[in-house]
A = this chain, B = another copy of it.
Amino acid sequence: MLGRNYQEVPAEPVSDGITIRWVVGQPEGAPNFAMRVIEFEPGVVFTRHQHPYEHEIFVLEGKGVAEGPEGEVPMRPGSALYIAPDELHGYRNTGDGVLRFICVIPHQEE
């Protein structure tokens, strides 16, 4: 059993104003999927993109929107989102503080 505060995991830069922490994943022995904590600084946008794997998301802090094919879905603390494989999606921090969310993905082949 492993336990640690997510802040003990180094925050890796994704792009300007976006970081990711891989809090549980293959290095910890997880066989199937990885849990990451992602942070967006205020005003930051991650433009729409797609990939062949799903996201299961839970918002911890802040205010934002996820943009999908059918419009926007609000992101608030307590929001649970599902983004299907190959679905177009982007994110935007619309609040004054950090937008922080958990995003779980299946392991990808190297």
Residues of A within 8 A of B (CB): 1-7, 9, 23-24, 28-35, 37, 54, 56, 58, 60, 66, 68-70, 73-76, 78-85, 87, 89, 102, 104, 106
Could you say how many copies of this chain the assembly holds?
2
A33 close to B106 (CB less than 8 A): yes
Using Cβ atoms and an 8 Å threshold, which residues of chain B touch A1? 66, 68-70, 73, 81-84, 87, 89
A74 close to B3 (CB less than 8 A): yes
A35 close to B73 (CB less than 8 A): no
> Which residue on B lies nearest to A31, using beta carbons?
B54
Tell which of B6, B30, B89, B106 touches A78, judged by Cβ atoms closer than 8 Å: B6
A35 close to B80 (CB less than 8 A): yes
Give bound CA distance, A42 to B104, whole Å. 28
> Which residue on B lies nearest to A83, using beta carbons?
B1
B69 close to A106 (CB less than 8 A): no
A82 close to B5 (CB less than 8 A): no
Query: How many whole Å from A15's CB to the nearest CB in chain B?
Result: 21
A56 close to B80 (CB less than 8 A): no
